[in-house]
Amino acid sequence: MAENINIYFTGTAGSGKTTMVAAFKDWMNEHGYDSIPINLDPGAENLPYVPEVDIRHWLRLDEVMEQFALGPNGAQVAAADLIAINAEKVREGFEDMETDYFLMDTPGQIELFAFRDGAPHTIDVFGRDRSMIVFIFDPTMAQTPSGFVSLLMLSATVQFRLGLPQINVLGKADTLEPEELNEIMNWSLDYYALYNAVLESSGGMEKNLAVELFQALDAMGALSSFFPVSSLEKTGFEDIYNVVQQVFSGGEDLEPR
């Protein structure tokens, strides 16, 4: 397999995956790094980048709806499995391309892509070695303690399911006020602060559960690197780039355990 690195951008629907692929590609161009964006979302409508290979060439959500007489939700489920079936053809589309990084834009619904066969199978077909995940926290969900913990658990679930090195980032950082950003970053740096915030917030969880849950997340290294990124302002990309380098130059920190 070539020496390229595959970076999969994941996150809940609307978290900013597609925009980040476009912005990271621009950032890489500006810094003299070579990358190729690939679209794996059969439901994408307008892409802010030109994909060199596009799953929609083989699979389109609107056609799945029509062909199998499915509504949008049923079609998403079917498409998640069809992505896996089409993975070999997509790989043939890019396997001879020379680049250092393939930037993979993934489907809107993370739970369908990651929990069904789409993601694990596609990652295997594209080459599991030298692959990693960027998981984007949507700031609108990350602003409350329970929302932040829920995203941490989802991120941990994706890491558990896909078994790849993973970077968690706080997306759309430009939309947060400085104090909101500080509060979230403080939770990410200090489990004790997060623990207290969860217990203090209404609807917080039971104390014993919170303690054990945070111990587990801590042991997984769920927050061993977490930083803000803005695709709009192109900030935070150097941090992503540095972690990718660290992981693939023998850095052990983010390797799956």
Ligand X SMILES: Nc1nc2c(ncn2[C@@H]2O[C@H](COP(=O)(O)OP(=O)(O)O)[C@@H](O)[C@H]2O)c(=O)[nH]1
CB of 102 to ligand X, least distance (A): 17
Alpha helices in the chain (DSSP H): 17-30, 61-67, 72-94, 110-115, 118-126, 139-142, 145-162, 178-189, 191-200, 207-220, 237-248
Pairing of strands 35-39, 5-11: unpaired
Rg (CA), the chain: 18
Nearer to ligand X, 144 or 235 (CB): 235
- 143, 144, 157, 175: which one contacts ligand X (CB under 6 A)? 175
Distance (Å, whole) CA 217 – CA 221: 6
Tell me the three state secondary structure of residue 38: strand
Query: Taking CB under 6 A as the rule, which mask of x and - marks residues 75-114 in contact with ligand X?
Result: ---------------------------------x------
CB of 78 to Mg ion, least distance (A): 18
Distance (Å, whole) CA 93 – CA 85: 15
With CB under 5 A as the contact rule, which of the stretches 10-18, 84-92, 206-214, 233-241 interacts with Mg ion?
10-18
CB of 73 to ligand X, least distance (A): 16
CB of 139 to ligand X, least distance (A): 9
- 17 near ligand X, judged by CB under 6 A: yes
- 18 near Mg ion, judged by CB under 5 A: yes
Number of other residues whose CB lies within 10 A of the CB of residue 182? 11
- 106 near Mg ion, judged by CB under 5 A: no
